[in-house]
Structure 1
Amino acid sequence: MFGLIGHSTSFEDARKTALQIGYDHLDGDLDVWCSAPPQFLEQIEVESLTGKKIEGAYIDSCFVPEMLSRFKTARRKVLNAMEMAQKRGIQISALGGFTSIIFENFNLLKHQHVRNTTLEWERFTTGNTHTAWVICRQLENNAPLLGIDLSKARVAVVGATGDIGSAVCRWLSARTGVAELLLVARQQQPLIDLQTELAGGRILSLEEALPEADVVVWVASMPRTLEIDMESLRKPCLMIDGGYPKNLDAKFAGSGVHVLKGGIVEFCNDISWDVGWIAEMDKPARQMFACFAEAMLLEFENCHTNFSWGRNQITLEKMDFIGMASLRHGFSSLNLNHQLQAAAA
């Protein structure tokens, strides 16, 4: 059995969802939500393209982004949701959205004991390997649609030293063969280390990289104060929004600049679940974050292990494994096709 551990995109959306599904006890202010335990919302059945059927569950951590500044609350929310998944006997659960970010950035590995439960780390995955593979596939599929020749293209990776960003860089360097990688991140030494590992790539600031890039992969939050001269960007330019939350549309969408929601997949069959519309997908019965899909894939493959775990541990071999499984079981990456067709109409 697989599990999906997620949350709503905002406190306002969380309250609306709670009332719609009959959780009237959560009709309170943010303090009420800070004390609320995780909620086991629904059981899910998924059928692979191969015909194999698996069962899973969605657990809402009752975390909302407004709690990020409350360190202890955010930590407790994620750990409590993980404990619930383990107690329910779920063999592999994916941490979605901010739950994964909280786990990594707040170093929750130091907190393996939750009340009388010792968390078994092998039951959990961040889903980052599948997310990285999907972003790379989106780049490879969509850049040519815009007339971008990847063998001649400069690709900027914003957040290059993170878990997903470094995996994307490894893949693009070794498998895709882009002309040049532009490496962007906050801390200099990890960038130098990554550049050494890749035996290539140019370290630039965000302001320096954007005007040079034919493709920009964002796997870090965009600075709120960032001011962009749209005229300085290359045309055409593909922007892959692989961060969370996805907010590049309002900033960059325009003539010659194409923004694609990164790290999202579409399944071959409809799934009867409510979490699709909670996540605000265009096709809620089929589309989901790639990190969630990783838990399904591991269940389909009977591979119950913390497949994505720890920073900079994603190998090309792991990306190959999860990528082949993704295709085999009926997942496809979200592409620009429908956007381009609408623009041409």
Structure 2
Amino acid sequence: MFGLIGHLTSLNHAQSVAKELGYPEYADQGLDFWCSAPPQIVDTITVTSVTGQKIEGRYVESCFLPEMLANRRIKAATRKILNAMAHAQKHGINITALGGFSSIIFENFKLEQFQQVRNIKLEFERFTTGNTHTAYIICRQVEEASKQLGIELQNATVAVCGATGDIGSAVCRWLDTKTEVQDLLLIARNQERLQKLQAQLGRGKIIGMEDAFPQADIIVWVASMPKGMEINPKNLKKPCLMIDGGYPKNLATKIQHPDIHILKGGIVEHSLDIDWKIMKIVNMEVPARQLFACFAESMLLEFEKLHTNFSWGRNQITVEKMEQIGRVSVKHGFRPLLVG
């Protein structure tokens, strides 16, 4: 059995869908209540591979909300993730993906040091961040969507915002070794990590966003968007492909121009309907078929009986592992979301 640990996008979102989740008493509660609310299994899932194989899974709502980080409720946020992991393990789930902020919180706050959660000793091999599959899908989106738009990679400049993160660095490695992309622009806050990544790649230009965007044919966004940040379409190339790999995905609400094509990054489509309700609750456009690639990674590992933390630790994703999960993804009927 596979598991998915997720969370809702805001307090307002959580209040609005509490009834659908089966907890109407949560609907009128504020942030303090959600800080203390325990994790809950709110969905039972059945997935069928194109090979005919069927698997079952559970969706664990962590009750984490992004406002907890914004309001410095760090202890509440970290407790949410650890409790959700313990809840999944207690229910015998073999491999569970940490979705959304779950994996970021786990890594940034070094939660591996807190292995004991009450009477449960966490077995980390039961958990994966799902980042390898997410990075693979984003790279395939770059390759396929650029063809759709007539952008030739061998003549293209690709900017990666969040280049030093787990997914961003993996995308850079793939673009460096698996494509003939002409120029690679590396954007991140930490200059030391940027220089280290540039040295590892043996290429790439370290640059700020304001200077990078007018040069980029393709922008891969895998970082959190700074509060209040605005992107002026006049400063972007036309055509420009923007792949929004953040969560929540909000670039499309900020930039509207006929020659700027914004694609929801890290989203896969399954060939067959999935029996679940959670993707409707998180407002996926085609909830029976579309899902986050990180969630799909746990499904793929369950299909293959690879009950191991396939994606774990910062910047450990190799091109070889991306190729491995990519082959399994195709085998079971998943494909990257492309431009409509």
TM-score of Structure 1 vs Structure 2, range by shorter chain: over 0.9
Task: Say which is worse superposed, 244-253 or 161-170, in terms of deviation.
Answer: 244-253
Task: Say which is worse superposed, 244-253 or 288-297, in terms of deviation.
Answer: 244-253
Q: Which amino acid is 1:325 matched to?
A: V
Whole-angstrom distance in 1 between the partners of 2:231 and 2:93 = 45
Whole-angstrom distance in 1 between the partners of 2:232 and 2:303 = 46
Verify the 8 A CA contact 2:127 2:309 in the aligned structure 1: yes
| 2:274 aligned partner | 271
SS of alignment partner, residue 191 of structure 1: helix
1:16 CA drift (Å): 2.4
SS of alignment partner, residue 144 of structure 2: helix
Whole-angstrom distance in 2 between the partners of 1:13 and 1:232 = 33
SS of alignment partner, residue 225 of structure 2: coil
Q: CA offsets per residue over residues 59-88 of structure 1, 9 Å max, x none?
A: 100111111231000000000000000011
Normalised TM-score (structure 1): 0.95
| 1:164 aligned partner | 167
Report whether the alignment pairs 1:30 with 2:31.
Answer: yes
1:103-182 equivalences under 5 Å are: 103-182=106-185
1:14 CA drift (Å): 1.4
| 2:66 aligned partner | 65
1:3 CA drift (Å): 0.2
| 1:281 aligned partner | 284
Q: CA offsets per residue over residues 293-318 of structure 1, 9 Å max, x none?
A: 00000000110000000111000110
Unaligned runs of 5+ in 2: none
Report whether the alignment pairs 1:330 with 2:320.
Answer: no
- The total of aligned residue pairs comes to 337
Whole-angstrom distance in 2 between the partners of 1:21 and 1:197 = 45
Q: Which amino acid is 1:33 matched to?
A: W
Aligned CA RMSD, in angstroms, stands at 1.1
| 1:12 aligned partner | 12
Identity of aligned residues (%): 61
Q: Which amino acid is 1:162 matched to?
A: G
Report whether the alignment pairs 1:50 with 2:51.
Answer: yes
Task: Say which is worse superposed, 164-173 or 5-14, in terms of deviation.
Answer: 5-14
Q: CA offsets per residue over residues 18-72 of structure 1, 9 Å max, x none?
A: 2234313323222111111001112211110111111111110011111123100
Verify the 8 A CA contact 2:233 2:256 in the aligned structure 1: no
Task: Say which is worse superposed, 60-69 or 150-159, in terms of deviation.
Answer: 60-69
Q: CA offsets per residue over residues 163-219 of structure 1, 9 Å max, x none?
A: 000000000000012001000000111111111110101110111110100000000
Q: 2:229 pairs with 226, 236, 258, which one?
A: 226
Verify the 8 A CA contact 2:232 2:255 in the aligned structure 1: no
Whole-angstrom distance in 2 between the partners of 1:332 and 1:249 = 22
Normalised TM-score (structure 2): 0.97
Report whether the alignment pairs 1:217 with 2:220.
Answer: yes
Unaligned runs of 5+ in 1: 339-345
Whole-angstrom distance in 2 between the partners of 1:12 and 1:23 = 15
Whole-angstrom distance in 2 between the partners of 1:212 and 1:226 = 19
Q: CA offsets per residue over residues 105-162 of structure 1, 9 Å max, x none?
A: 1111111110111100000000000000000000000112111110010000000000
Runs of 4+ in 1 over 6 A off after TM superposition: none
| 1:3 aligned partner | 3
